[in-house]
Structure 1
Amino acid sequence: PVSLLENWESEINRFFSAKFGKGLSLYGDNLKQRKIPKHLISPQLRNDYGITNLLEDNWLGGADIVLTTYETMRDLEFSLGRVDWSIMICDEAQKIKVPTAMVTKAAKAQKADFKIACTGTPVENSLVDLWCLFDFIQENLLGSLSEFNKEYRRPIEKKDDEDSAIIDELRQLIEPQVLRRMKHDVAELPAKHEVNDCKNIEMSTLQRTLYKQVSNDCRSLSEQGHKGVMLTALHSMRMICAHPLKLQEQATIKDSPKAEWLIDTLEVIKQKDEKVIIFTEFRPIQVFLKRLLLERFGLNVTTVNGDSNTNSRKGLTRQGIIDKFQEVNGFNVIVLSTVAVGFGVNIQKANHVIHYTRSWNPAKEDQATDRAYRIGQDKEVFVYYPSIAADDFETFEIKLDKLLSSKRSLADDMLKPNVELTQELIQSIY
């Protein structure tokens, strides 16, 4: 992924000496300098084959290691496909899990003697993800997709009586091609603690009023036959729990008990002189947290999301922002998007991880937590899932926490799909 280019460059410089070969980052200016101008590409290639991106013949320039993005590989499939690669490595290989996607087809079109797919989540949605990765690694090992669906996917996902036997058969088939090691197998890391006393933050009067209003409106609109109101209502409930101040002009910080909890928690962490990562994918909440932390702690907190660039000409890059955060001594906070920066980067200087809002997928949450809990971490890590609760009913956040906890128990088995919540489960939250 493009967001990890700098991290990969940094790790290559760290672990590889010059004797291992010359590296080339095929992105940005390096890519522009090596592309053939579009007007010089023949009309036949453009019109008959749809080829609008090509590299010059000598684009490699003596490089032995080429680092590039999935999107560049997709756009330059034909130029890259002319090279006889010794090794092809796909990091965060779930990017090529969809059989019909152009990026997947481009990856499988490359000529390589040895292929590696690196991912912590080989099965995110269904066993088709697994088939697609193995079709890249060793074509036909699991047969065609239709054969795989018939022999393995459908019986396993139906949970027939023979489910365990079929899973064991599939496991034995792929075992020679899999190297799966958990952190505790390869490193002695400090303890990781889930802080549970923040999972029962009492709902404020304003939140209760707003919550009841959304619930009543949803029921009324549903009875009238309006479609899609449930998902809209759930999003509103989610925002009421996390950020009620946005919905009421006269509201104060007292109306947002989660924000109050955050301030109190950060005060304690500040006394310890330690660093904090706050995860939320919602832009309004990122902006709110940035303003809150400036007012309460005088911190000009950096937010890293999908807008954060990877091109140093536009200012600090994403990796540069994270490096700067890590270099500052003492207490500090960084706000990250679970979606945009939930994987690949290293932030071991932080040892407190706060999931201010939750992901629908526990695997993505755990990947986000592991930005801090990874090799190189020398402090105990504390993980927080602050949740708004009520004494007379289960709120959105409490129901979501229970569902994610039940699904998280499957996460260690790579053949058990750790799927995002289905429509049925979403309805149970409502």
Structure 2
Amino acid sequence: MKVATSQPFCLIYSLYQHEYLGYLWEPFIVQLNDRGELTLLHQSISSKNINEFAERLDDTDFELVKLIDAIQQEVVIKKFSSKKTTPTDFFLKVFDKNKGDKNVQDSICNYIESHRAKICPLLVDKRVFIMGNDGNPIREEVTIPTEPASVRFHVMRNADNTHYYPTIRHQGVKVEFQHRDAILLGEDPAWLLLDAKLYHFKPAVDGKKLKPFFHKKFIVIPKSIEEDYYRKFVSSLITLFDVYAKGFEIRSESFRPIPQLNLSENFIESATAGSSASSAVATDTDVTLTLSFNYGDHSFRFDSFTASANVSMETREDEYIFHKIQRDIPREKETIRMLRERNLHLRNGQAVLPKAEAFSWIQDHYEPLLEQGFVISQSPTDSKRYFLGYSSLQLSIHENRDWFDIFAVVRFGEYEIPFLQLKQLILDKKREFTLPNGEVAVIPESWFSQYSELFAFANDHDDEDHLILHKHHISLVQELQEESLAATIINRKLEKLRDFEEIEAYPLPQGLNGTLRPYQKAGYDWLRFLNQYQFGGCLADDMGLGKTLQTLSLLQSQYENGAKEASLIVMPTSLLYNWQLEIKKFTPMLRVLVYTGTYREKNIDLFNQYDIVLTSYGIVRIDVELLQRYPFHYIILDESQAIKNPGSNISKALSLLQSRFRLILSGTPLENSTMDLWSQMNFVNPGLLGSQSFFRNEFQIPIEKRGDEKKTQRLYSIIKPFMLRRHKSQVATELPEKVESIQYCAMSEEQEKAYEEAKSYYRNMILQHIEEEGIAKSQMVVLQGLTRLRQLANHPRMVDSEYEFSSGKLEEVLAKIETVVGEKHKILIFSQFVKHLDLVKSELEERGFPYAYLDGNTQDRQGQVELFQTNEQVPIFLISLKAGGLGLNLTAADYVFILDPWWNPAIEAQAIDRAHRIGQDKTVFTYKFISQNTVEEKILALQHSKQRLASELITTEDTFVKSLSKEDVLSLLE
């Protein structure tokens, strides 16, 4: 019987018993009647046909069906049999009582059990039934309580033997399970089916501890094995569970845990006995920090296998006394969390660290740890004794005429050491030296990260009592000054560069056709300042703050002040059209050449006829030998993260080009690695961050591998004068309430081919239909054709599932998503096509971006809204325009992406107002993505020409199509 997907239906999971495999599930789609009740119309589903019903299912359903498929008998046979066989032959042979293969039996049972352990927890909140003998999948419904049950074990020691049995309670009520036909659906952990209820347990219990009591009251332990039984079995039982004791004593002891951090050169196994966790291997340059907790006279190491209690057994003549020390696991975990916040990451209670890093960490956190009650010690078995006391460094800088004189003194406890003695040790990466008392002092890692660069640039003075540093490394001195380690006088020019607020105001160019907001004017002044002193720079404002406008203002001023050569602006191909529009809008006097395309004229003399040359990264890479012969005024890179890899061909090509000035634009100058910064800053100011190898050793490795915050601050202090980055939140008071932009997207080559073929087909078909039937009777054909073209403009895969190529719009959307998420903003992404959202969703999942999702079939709308509104880790909300255009308050978002233009702009405005409404304290940026040279552009034009109709009457696709004249249709299909 086929269930109609157009009518309401429900996915249920029906339990049945297989003769050999035990209890299994089969999923069914069941039709619902008008009252939402289950009917007899049902259909079995699997991974093969589940997509037919996908719109009303969730991810858990897909996972459940996949897991259930994996334990069906045909899959089991295929997995455990290399020969083609029938189910009857296979199971009779394998499970034969006399000749059956016990190893295969065990393997099958373990395989089935491992899947049951995954399936049972996923069934919570699903509808589960017991299948009837007649195959009726909904004979009896099973409830799954959300609250776990608990098990209490009773151990009764008598004169001749010991009785042992469990009892079960759920929500304070005893659950009678003995002689009640109880069924274990999962053994480890146990899931117990009883009276149409499926119980789980907390703490989790092995089903083997319950199963023997399904048909007996208790188990008898003979006196002859009593002591061994109590020492092994009862001890572990008391450790894990609530145990009622009779005939022996359980003493619960409670102490406040005292954390102890022990340093040792002797590596200790990080995995507990019997665990499969792998252990790191310590070398001669490593030490091990081990965390343990002292409870009275007892000490326990923390690891991931820690039980809530530790039990030891004491025997006194004929008595057994169990000492149960209840561990304060929440407090222990809080200690672990606190250490993690202090950048000490323990694995099973241990951290193996380089010596210098370990000692730097201890010295940095020594006092706070003592205040929190820590005991910090060194293993008494270590032969080498380390200095664990307080160390300090005092630095003074005196400005000379042509350089800075640098003096420093180091103290380790009571010993004072000239800093110059440590210079060679630091340059050679040697971290240890012996103090007069024989203790070994370890140079803190922060000194290496902070002063290796200073030493690399500094020279010894002739007097050999201090160092000298040339003044062009002023940023190093500035950082030391800001850390209150030194004071100096900086000349006015460099003082202004250090303090952005002190940069003078420059007049705006007369030919600028636009108004700069205050923060944009400040950015323009900064660009003019860099230009005046021949520095390169990086304008790194958030997306939507007007980097293009600030840049064009700079270029307009340059040409009004007499610049002769053309300026080259390099960008991704998808942005060429946007730049053309922006130049035409803001600086119409500037002459623009778009240097791209297969038939471009490769003649650099042509550049002299233009003020701006627009080209793509790909063209620069291809034409580098030609382009490097022209002396550009400015070379400007938009989305400059394209050169983040210094070894790439495009980075090498751009480094060969000539220009008086250089500027880069990027909302995300650092995407993956600090080397991204080196590559881009080295382009605008060669040598600013040293050589690539120097930068890698002194900045990249310490920052990325060890999380060195001081090194990070040092790096940013160097680049700060040459990078201007404003977040939207910083300049929100200077912005209007909404900033709306249209993002034109060039189609990919394959997409354009598919679009043009479809346009030609529908144009002929629609025109023929109009000629024969008239415009009024052709509306359905027009709507069908326009819808198909709009889908192709988004992504051809919405029309053709076999399409394997890219979509220009999707690539642009994903690039913008990465930028906005990288800037810590939240986005609403609207589309009227659920298929389009599915494509975006797949790409987000592949990139590891968390998201919320809402369309017409979403069951828990409020749950998705709250997930997005309250969870900082979920930056993206995918919403179908029809389902989410009204009734939602989504003020956590400050960006709105409209993936495809809606017929009625008012509907788009309602979608935008999900974020731009009362309670919103941030400026809302809206991006409407339009595929260039498609029906989407034509729809925008029609919206403007039919503004009154669009705003007052058009509410659906049908009414929009009815408003179209023959001329309108011809325009759309041009």
Q: TM-score range by the shorter chain?
A: 0.3 to 0.5
- TM-score, with structure 2 as normaliser: 0.22
**Larger strand proportion, structure 1 or 2?**
2
Larger fraction in helix: 1
Normalising by structure 1, report the TM-score: 0.48
